[in-house]
A = this chain, B = another copy of it.
Amino acid sequence: MAFELRKYTPPDFETEDLRSAPDARLVPAPADGVAPEGFHAMSIFPEYFRLGGRWLLAEESRMDCVPVLEDGRIAVREFRHLKKGDPVVCGRTENGEDGIFVHADGFAEAAGQRENFAFRTGRSRETSFTRDYDELRELLRYERENGKIVWVLGPAFTFDSGARDAFARLVAGGYVHALLAGNALATHDLEGAYLGTALGQDIYTQESRPNGHYNHLDTINRVRGCGSVAAFIEDERLEDGIIASCEKYGVPYVLAGSIRDDGPLPCVIGSAYEAQDAMRAQVKSATTVICMATMLHSIAVGNMTPSYRVTADGTVRQIYFYCVDIAEFTVNKLADRGSLAAKGIVTNVQDFIKQLAEGLGV
């Protein structure tokens, strides 16, 4: 089964309804960080705005953010990034009557799939997942050559030596193009590389080391002393694990700070909103996103990932979004928020990643 992208069918703007649609209404933002009343908010689907008689596609969308006309294009802005006077599209219909057209059916098969999905009313531990593994494997082979694969990792992902090694092999194999995580994931992973433990427990034998609760603090303190993760890795000649592999293969990673952090590590972005910006900078070019074992980061990234991407040559393609977690609650949470394109896999991420790496032959 060779992987093939679904073809995108743009809207037919020659229908009577859309031909007679008015221009979208633009209203200046009344103050910095504030949208005008009646502002339009984006969905995950391709949306077109009629302006000057032409339909403009928002090329880099983000759910729940606001379309702004900028240099003849539609930019999609977070509220906090609005500037007073920015011309914001207003209107809350989706069928063109206000010059706004939301194109939910652009990927024909996708529509079919959605129907199926609805039938199941969410995925559970009892869903049959073998086909999803098969499809994902083919997808990743395609994306390694043609796309950008962004991974989002929860802190506990790196507690198991096998999972950690599998991910490092995926990095080495070219299947990881960006990593989004937090201070804890990086700390635990570096503790593994430095001392062989995570929170003081051996990541293979499960044995607790004497005074092992110091291990993550010692790791953080050493990194802070070295001044950077890269310097620490070099000083200590670390080779294994997620972060060391990213450093070695030049994979960019964004570490967002959180209120539960110790330390933090030097490169962690303390501001939630600067972290959002840094994450969106990676997601803006992503074609496949895989979230594992994190609700916070999955929702954060899910919110900023639309269902489509406009590629360099102007074609519109689908974005694939996977959420892998042992809790149905987490997996189904994204669907509840409107990210219907998300595909959930309910399992322990350790097994998911080991099986995926095995299937990809890395």
Cα A213 to Cα B338 with chains together (Å)? 9
In the complex, are the beta carbons of B332 and A346 less than 8 A apart? no
A209, chain B: closest CB distance, angstroms:
11
Mask, A2-44, CB within 8 Å of B = 1, is 0000000000000000000000000000110111000101000
Residues of B within 8 A of A329 (CB): 124-125, 328
**A258 interfacial contact with B, CB 8 Å:** yes
A205 interfacial by beta-carbon distance below 8 Å: yes
What is the bound-complex CA distance between A275 and B279, given in angstroms?
20
Q: Give the chain B neighbours of A297 by CB distance below 8 A.
A: 259
Copies held by the complex: 4
Interface string of A216-239 (1 = CB under 8 A from B): 010011001100000000000000
The distance from the CB of A237 to the nearest CB of chain B, in whole angstroms, is 19
Tell me which residues across on chain B come within 8 A of A92, comparing CB atoms: 211, 214
Given that A127-B206, A355-B355 are known contacts, is A300 also in contact with B34, CB under 8 Å in the complex? no
- List, in ascending order, chain B residues with CB within 8 A of A208's CB: 116, 119
A315 close to B (CB within 8 Å): no
Contacts of A186 in B (CB 8 A): none
A352 at the interface (CB under 8 A from B): yes
Within 8 A of B (CB), among A122-173: 122, 124-131, 133, 156, 159-163
Given contacts A260-B299, A296-B258, contact A79 B347 (CB under 8 A): no
CA distance A202 to B220 in the complex (A): 45
A254-274 toward B: CB 8 Å interface, digit per residue (1/0)? 001111111110000011111
- Closest chain B residue, CB of each to CB of A223: B34
> Is A351 positioned at the interface, with any CB of B under 8 Å from its CB?
yes
Chain A 264-300: CB-based contact to B (< 8 A → 1; otherwise 0)? 1000001111111001000000000000010111011
- A residues sitting closer than 8 Å to B (CB atoms) are 30-31, 33-35, 39, 41, 64, 78-80, 92, 116, 118-122, 124-131, 133, 156, 159-163, 198, 201-208, 211, 213-214, 217, 220-221, 224-225, 256-264, 270-276, 279, 293, 295-297, 299-300, 303, 326-329, 332, 335-336, 338, 346-348, 350-352, 354-355, 358
